[in-house]
Amino acid sequence: MAANFRILVHRNSDNLHLKLMGDFDGTSAFELINVLRNNCVATRKVFVHTSCLKNIYPFGRETFHNHLCRLKNRCIHLIFTGANAGEIAPDPRTEQACLSLIMA
């Protein structure tokens, strides 16, 4: 994991907020997948806030996209926000049907 990468996790009601900070590499992508998998129970929407990301490495983005299938049994609504949302959010046309993806 990038030495400066962190995920702040905040839950309000049935929404989960994940604030990504630092550099997003391959190991950071696995950490994000694990946080999603471990925290999306009883969650309607997951907001992934990207404005505090400094660098998004192509390998990190591809690792995240390629491992979203680990969430396929958990129907979750992912909403990517912030300046880097378009860089990290997967293409909704190519992802699993039960993952709802939005860029805000």
Please report, in tens digits, the pLDDT of each residue of the chain (104 residues total).
568 999 999 999 889 999 999 999 999 999 999 999 888 888 889 999 999 999 999 999 999 998 887 776 666 788 999 999 999 988 766 655 445 555 55
Secondary structure tally for the chain: helices H, strands E: 3, 5
> What is the three-class DSSP state of 3?
coil
Instruction: Using alpha carbons, select from 78, 25, 18 the residue that is nearest to residue 49.
Output: 18
How many of the other CB atoms lie within 10 Å of CB of 3?
7
Phi, psi of 57 (to 5 degrees): -80, 140
Please give the pLDDT value at position 9.
96
Q: Give the containing element (helix H, strand E) for 85.
A: helix 85-88
Q: Residue 97: its pLDDT value, please?
A: 43
Domains, in order of start, for the chain: 6-103 (3.30.750.24)
Handedness of CA 66, 79, 30, 55 (dihedral sign): positive
The tokens for 20 are 């990504």
Residue 50 has a pLDDT of: 97
The confidence score (pLDDT) of residue 98 equals 46
pTM: 0.86
